[in-house]
Structure 1
Amino acid sequence: MNFRQFAFNNVIRNKRTYIAHFLSSAFAVMIFFIYALLLYHPDLQGELASTSRTMSMLASMGMEICQYIVFIFSFFFLLYSVSSFLKLRKREFGILMLLGMSKRQLHKLLFIENILIGFGSIVAGIGVGLIFSKLILLVSANLLSIEQGLRFYIPLKAIWLTAGAFAVMFVVISLFTSLMVRKVELVELIKSSDKPKPEPKASWVLSLLAVLLIGAGYGCVFYFVIMHVYSLALLAVGVGLVILGTYFLFTQLSVYVIRMLKRNQGLFFRRTNLLTLSELSYRMKDNAVMFFMVSIISAVAFTAIGTCLAIGAPGLAEMANPYSFSYASYYGNTKEQEHIRLIQQELTRNGFKYRMGEVSIDQSDNGLRLIKLSDYNSLAKTLGRPAEQLQDQMTILAPSSLEMANTYKIQGVPSQQVGIIRRDYKGTFKVIKSLDYVVLPNIWGLYIVTDKDFHTIFAKEPKQNINKTYHFVVEDWQKSRAVSEQLKKLIPQDNSHYTLSSLVDKWTESQQVNGILLILSGLVGIVFFTFAASFIYFRLYADSERDEQQYKMIAKVGLSRKELNKTVTQQLILMFFLPLVLAMIHSAVAIAALQQLISYSVFQYAIAIFATFLFIQIIYFFITRSRYLRQLYRKLV
């Protein structure tokens, strides 16, 4: 058996140890390949470019940036996993050196092992990516609202880029591996698992600081959204405080709480709690940094995916603009009634039910837009809103955006009175309230006045100078894209006399932007979550030899399998779900803050994300628990 065969057999014999490292590496390769597959797709730019050249550019830039993120994060993750396995195999390396292996040969052995695992990961990752490439293209086309779809192609450029990038990465990691063991002495390798661990300690001051920092961070985030203090520095401080507080929570507060539980003798000496709590204090201290990384990474993944799903929701687009089609007619337009009839005909012909509202808008000399109360009530009926009542010399402020509606809702109207000037007319109106929804989008300074006041203000205004807008509320407007395309042909745009806009077109553009964000954040989030789960696996099996010896000794003094099962399960539940639960809390706070900015409910998306990842983690927990217990049982025989 030559040296290469010996290295290959080493990998095969340690497959239980290396399986998580191999699968995570292959998964990282697959995600990188998917980004390359989309980045170099010949049709991806087609429909996106026809809608917006900027979106096409953003898509390409986003794919490239995310490739860098996945690549860089994969490098540090794989370096961490390799270092974990080196600690696990220190005794093995010491025995090999005791039998005559030189340090140079040991470095060569580690280099070949890592190259073998890296080569297998590249082949497996690209192979799985190719198998699912058609499904990925179908899902991507749906998320980007590309009706023609994305055709399948052989992504040779993506294959070579992925293989080359990760081949370089695994070579560099293999070189780093040699540096990790270069300064380790033989005695240290052999006695690595015999070193006693000091009892974990924690400061009550830092434990209290953890709670205060997280609370202050949450406070900054909510102050940012509730008080509309849109300061990037304030948001950055809030996030920074939460991250720092999370670090102290795992390194100090968790250990401190376990120490307090151990002081409760009634609890500590009950059944197997002595063993469970004693072991937990060491596990929490040893794995604090890993728990911290898992929590922050998972929180970023949950928040990014949930936010992108919420932003791309049709309900949010409908709140910003409640009208499926809007037609604005200006002075000199002779085709107004013909165009309105065409819109109605196309909607009816395609089987859409609709309601239409008509509004006359004019502008005062001091820049205010005014509409009649009767026109507003016509729109309110169209939108299913209650009608309003007004007295002369009174007015209602109508917001033109969701942000403005939220501002008025929190801070009230900017002024209790407003002056209106139009030619010879001058008057002061009392602002009785503001509406809590968008009436006419993107029309700033919009006020509702009585019909009598409107005619008085514009008494000397030629009737033809008053602009009219027609607004259509359509059921199932998301399916009206064909109607929109047909109307563009029948009513060519003429900005000097009229404009026609459709909500489905703007929503499609938004879907493409948010679809790109969802693909990017979703894949990166999945990578982060997979790496986070792998961190737990690495730490668990890095301590497996010590755990096996410990439980073997305890079993000799009467620990039953049922008690062992319970003790291990309690510890694993904490390892697997404590970081995940904290990540969900952080993410829920971020999404709750987002909810303050919009009236449309986004928690349904957050719940879906949490439920999905929690379900995956539960399955992963049971699989790992079963394998871990089975391994312990074999050692106890």
Structure 2
Amino acid sequence: MNFRQFAVKNVQGNWHRYRAFFLSSVFSVMVFFIYAAFIFHPDVINGHIQGASGVRIGMLACEYIIMIFSFFFVLYSNSAFLKSRKKEFGLLSLFGMTNRQMHKMIVYENTFIALIAIAVGIGFGALFSKLFFMAMSELLQVESPISFYLAPKALIMTAAGFFVLFQAITLFTVFQIRNSRIIELIRAAKKPKTLPVFSGWLVLLSVLCLGTAYTIAYFTTAQKVLFVVLPVIFLVVLGTYFLFTQSSVAIFRRLQRTLPVYYSGTNLIAISQLVFKMKDNARVLFVVAVLSAVILSASGTFYVFYQGNKDQMMENYPHTIAFAESGSDAHRVIDPAKLKEVLQQEGVTIASEMKLVSVPWPTAEAAGKNSEAKANPRVVPLLISEDAFNREVAAPGKLKAIQVERGHAVAVTPIPAEISKDSIAKGMTFTAQLGGSSIQLLVDDIREGIHIVPSMLNYKGFLVIDQGQFDEMMRRLPDTETYALYGYELDNWEKAGPAVKKLEQLVPKYQQSYFVSRVESYLTLKQMSSLTLFIGLFVSFLFFVASGSMIYFRLFTELQEDQALYKSLMRIGVSIKEITRITTLQIGLIFFIPCFVGIIHAAFALRALGNVLSLNVLGYGLVVIGIYLLMQGVYFLITRRLYLKQLTRL
């Protein structure tokens, strides 16, 4: 048996340690290759696929993320392997192996693993790239599916990039044992551990950091989010670090002093071990908790944007088609009769329709203001009657009806006052000459966040006034000084794109800005959000696999110590069933404690996102968290089975 064969045999003998690292590396290579295959696809490079250029930029960014993340992941993995094999290296040194030969053996082992991982990863990438191209074709809405093509550049970049990465890390890690003496290597696993201690001040600091960060995130607003995001991240990371390095030790030390719990069943053994395991694994659990928070926050954000697009679009565009006409009976934009005729020809049915006659306020002058504004419905508030609002807006949308006295008004605005500096404020008085007479309106109340028509057709919103006062105004004003707002809600509007395009062709170019539709905006937004979700979930899943693998590595690093401990316990009468229960509890806590900490972090992050977007993201967040817990549970069961299988080989 030559030296290379000896290295291969070592890999086979330590396969239970290499398994998770190998599978994680394969998945990283596979995702990287699939993205590269799309990036270097001829149709994408030549611009034959509409929208593919933007996706290509996003995928290039993901490639950098994957490579950087893989570097640190492989670095940590190699360090964990070397630590778990110090006794083995000490024995090999004792039998005459030189440092040079040991370094050579490690290089051979890692090269062997790297070549297989790269080959298998590219193989799976080639296998699934066709499915990936089909999915991208559907998301990009191309007429014919993207053809299957394995770009040579993708193959070369993936193979060369990961091979260099593996080799660079291998050369970096072999020097960790270059100065270790034989006796240190042999006794590495037998060094006595001191009882973990904690600082009460650092425990308090972790609570204060997390509490402050959560409070800021919970109450943040769209105006403040850019200023608080970095301080919140810093506080969360700092608090999480001390939570695992200090608070976890304090909690388990407290359990040791809680005698009814400590002396119940096998808790004495489990808690005593967990005191040491939580301290020894604190940094790993800290990293996994942060990764879990990143995974859940990113996935939750992608999912919120994907699922919330339709709700947001329905709110911003209360009608599928809306347009404004100068004059209540003029049809300079489009004739409603012609609109209905086109829709009927296209097989599109109208679910509901609205016609709202309004009067533009001639000036923007309010109490304390002297500015003048042109009579344009897009920059000044529009006056509408209370009956028209209650009939056309409140009834279909199930909003509260408005009752207003003569000389008073209720403002209805699409944008909250805290966002728009030009919003109408409660108590503001509007005074102007309208229809040959002076009129004054006092704003009694504000209804914010209500879109009567798309915001592109009205800038400052509406003033709802008394019906009698509005009728008198209409009798004094010529028809040319009024505006008619039309809105049509279509059945199955998501598929009404061809009909809407035909209607847009009938609108004169100089009137195009007064005709809006939610269909094209929704389809464009849905396409981009679907692509973002699709691409982002790949990277999020990669992070998830890596975070689970880090716990897997850590468990198997301590396998020999646990085997010796449980062998001693069996000698004094502890059964295999009890050992299994103790081990399951310990693995479960190590797996799920950082998971639940990450969930709490992500919950507050999604709360902040909901504040910024003015959306209730709780339902979306629960879906993402549920899927994450399910996957984490599956990973836990697999790891538990493999670990117990190795542990019981006493």
1:521 to 536, 556, 566: 536
| Residue 633 to residue 62, structure 1, CA distance change in 2 (3 Å) | same
Rounded Cα–Cα distance in structure 1 between residues aligned with 2:428 and 2:22 = 69
Contact 1:301 1:525 in 2 (8 A): yes
Give the drift of 1:196.
0.9
1:19 aligned partner, one-letter code = R
Give the drift of 1:436.
4.6
1:620 aligned partner, one-letter code = Y
Rounded Cα–Cα distance in structure 2 between residues aligned with 1:357 and 1:255 = 65
- The gaps in structure 1 that reach 5 residues or longer are none
Q: In the TM superposition, what are the counterparts of 1:508-547 in structure 2 within 5 Å?
A: 508-547=523-562
Q: In the TM superposition, what are the counterparts of 1:556-575 in structure 2 within 5 Å?
A: 556-575=571-590
Give the drift of 1:327.
2.4
Whether 1:276 aligns to 2:270 is yes
| Residue 452 to residue 283, structure 1, CA distance change in 2 (3 Å) | same
1:5-40 per-position Cα deviation (integer Å, ceiling 9, x unaligned): 222222122211111111111111112122223323
2:633 aligned partner, one-letter code = I
What is the DSSP-based 3-state SS (H/G/I as helix, E as strand, rest coil) of the residue aligned with 1:473? strand
Give the drift of 1:556.
0.6
Contact 1:364 1:420 in 2 (8 A): no
Rounded Cα–Cα distance in structure 2 between residues aligned with 1:566 and 1:499 = 70
What is the DSSP-based 3-state SS (H/G/I as helix, E as strand, rest coil) of the residue aligned with 1:470? strand
Whether 1:238 aligns to 2:232 is yes
1:447-469 per-position Cα deviation (integer Å, ceiling 9, x unaligned): 22335444666777542243433
| Residue 458 to residue 363, structure 1, CA distance change in 2 (3 Å) | farther
Rounded Cα–Cα distance in structure 1 between residues aligned with 2:345 and 2:37 = 42
1:282-319 per-position Cα deviation (integer Å, ceiling 9, x unaligned): 11001111111111111111111111221222122212
1:419 to 421, 430, 453: 430
Contact 1:66 1:524 in 2 (8 A): yes
- 1:72 aligns to what? 68
1:61-104 per-position Cα deviation (integer Å, ceiling 9, x unaligned): 22111111110011001110010000111111111121121111
1:131-151 per-position Cα deviation (integer Å, ceiling 9, x unaligned): 112222333344455565544
Q: Note the aligned Cα RMSD (angstroms).
A: 2.7
Rounded Cα–Cα distance in structure 1 between residues aligned with 2:397 and 2:113 = 61
- 2:79 aligns to what? 83
Rounded Cα–Cα distance in structure 2 between residues aligned with 1:625 and 1:493 = 69
Contact 2:334 2:507 in 1 (8 A): no
Rounded Cα–Cα distance in structure 2 between residues aligned with 1:48 and 1:299 = 38
2:402 aligned partner, one-letter code = E
- 1:428 aligns to what? 441
Give the drift of 1:473.
1.9
Give the drift of 1:109.
1.0
Give the drift of 1:59.
2.6
Contact 1:84 1:538 in 2 (8 A): yes
| Residue 274 to residue 498, structure 1, CA distance change in 2 (3 Å) | closer
- 1:33 aligns to what? 33
What is the DSSP-based 3-state SS (H/G/I as helix, E as strand, rest coil) of the residue aligned with 1:398? strand
Contact 1:392 1:450 in 2 (8 A): yes
Rounded Cα–Cα distance in structure 2 between residues aligned with 1:550 and 1:469 = 79
Give the drift of 1:245.
1.0
Contact 1:333 1:497 in 2 (8 A): no
Contact 1:329 1:497 in 2 (8 A): no
Moved more, 299-308 or 442-451: 442-451
Give the drift of 1:598.
4.8
Contact 2:35 2:59 in 1 (8 A): yes
Rounded Cα–Cα distance in structure 2 between residues aligned with 1:427 and 1:220 = 43
Moved more, 462-471 or 619-628: 462-471
| Residue 122 to residue 257, structure 1, CA distance change in 2 (3 Å) | same
What is the DSSP-based 3-state SS (H/G/I as helix, E as strand, rest coil) of the residue aligned with 1:163? helix
Rounded Cα–Cα distance in structure 1 between residues aligned with 2:290 and 2:35 = 24
Contact 1:303 1:587 in 2 (8 A): yes
Identity of paired residues, percent?
A: 32
1:155 aligned partner, one-letter code = A
| Residue 495 to residue 123, structure 1, CA distance change in 2 (3 Å) | farther
1:232-266 per-position Cα deviation (integer Å, ceiling 9, x unaligned): 22222122212211111111111101001101222
1:6 aligned partner, one-letter code = F
Give the drift of 1:167.
1.5
Give the drift of 1:568.
0.5
Q: In the TM superposition, what are the counterparts of 1:185-584 in structure 2 within 5 Å?
A: 185-225=181-221, 228-313=222-307, 314-330=310-326, 336=333, 338=335, 341-343=338-340, 345-346=342-343, 349-361=346-358, 362-366=360-364, 367=373, 368-373=380-385, 374-376=387-389, 377-401=391-415, 404=416, 414-422=425-433, 425-442=438-455, 443-447=458-462, 448-454=464-470, 462-488=478-504, 490-491=505-506, 494-496=509-511, 499-584=514-599
Q: In the TM superposition, what are the counterparts of 1:179-190 in structure 2 within 5 Å?
A: 179-190=175-186
| Residue 430 to residue 398, structure 1, CA distance change in 2 (3 Å) | closer
Contact 1:145 1:511 in 2 (8 A): no
Give the drift of 1:487.
3.2
Q: TM-score, normalised by structure 1?
A: 0.91
| Residue 502 to residue 289, structure 1, CA distance change in 2 (3 Å) | same
Rounded Cα–Cα distance in structure 2 between residues aligned with 1:413 and 1:276 = 64
Moved more, 358-367 or 457-466: 457-466
| Residue 595 to residue 515, structure 1, CA distance change in 2 (3 Å) | same
| Residue 498 to residue 213, structure 1, CA distance change in 2 (3 Å) | closer
2:622 aligned partner, one-letter code = I
Rounded Cα–Cα distance in structure 1 between residues aligned with 2:143 and 2:530 = 14
Rounded Cα–Cα distance in structure 2 between residues aligned with 1:301 and 1:395 = 48
2:99 aligned partner, one-letter code = K
| Residue 608 to residue 369, structure 1, CA distance change in 2 (3 Å) | same
Rounded Cα–Cα distance in structure 2 between residues aligned with 1:431 and 1:49 = 54
Rounded Cα–Cα distance in structure 2 between residues aligned with 1:384 and 1:232 = 35
| Residue 120 to residue 347, structure 1, CA distance change in 2 (3 Å) | farther
- The gaps in structure 2 that reach 5 residues or longer are 365-372, 374-379
Rounded Cα–Cα distance in structure 2 between residues aligned with 1:477 and 1:102 = 75
Give the drift of 1:47.
9.5
Whether 1:120 aligns to 2:134 is no
Q: How many residues align?
A: 623
- 2:369 aligns to what? none
What is the DSSP-based 3-state SS (H/G/I as helix, E as strand, rest coil) of the residue aligned with 1:59? helix
Give the drift of 1:152.
3.0
| Residue 138 to residue 371, structure 1, CA distance change in 2 (3 Å) | farther
Contact 2:140 2:527 in 1 (8 A): yes
| Residue 250 to residue 15, structure 1, CA distance change in 2 (3 Å) | same
Rounded Cα–Cα distance in structure 2 between residues aligned with 1:497 and 1:619 = 55
1:171 aligned partner, one-letter code = Q
Whether 1:15 aligns to 2:11 is no
What is the DSSP-based 3-state SS (H/G/I as helix, E as strand, rest coil) of the residue aligned with 2:649? helix
| Residue 621 to residue 205, structure 1, CA distance change in 2 (3 Å) | same
Rounded Cα–Cα distance in structure 1 between residues aligned with 2:532 and 2:48 = 14
Contact 1:291 1:579 in 2 (8 A): yes
Contact 2:342 2:503 in 1 (8 A): no
1:567 aligned partner, one-letter code = I
1:355 aligned partner, one-letter code = S
1:586 to 593, 601, 622: 601
2:427 aligned partner, one-letter code = Q
Give the drift of 1:56.
5.2
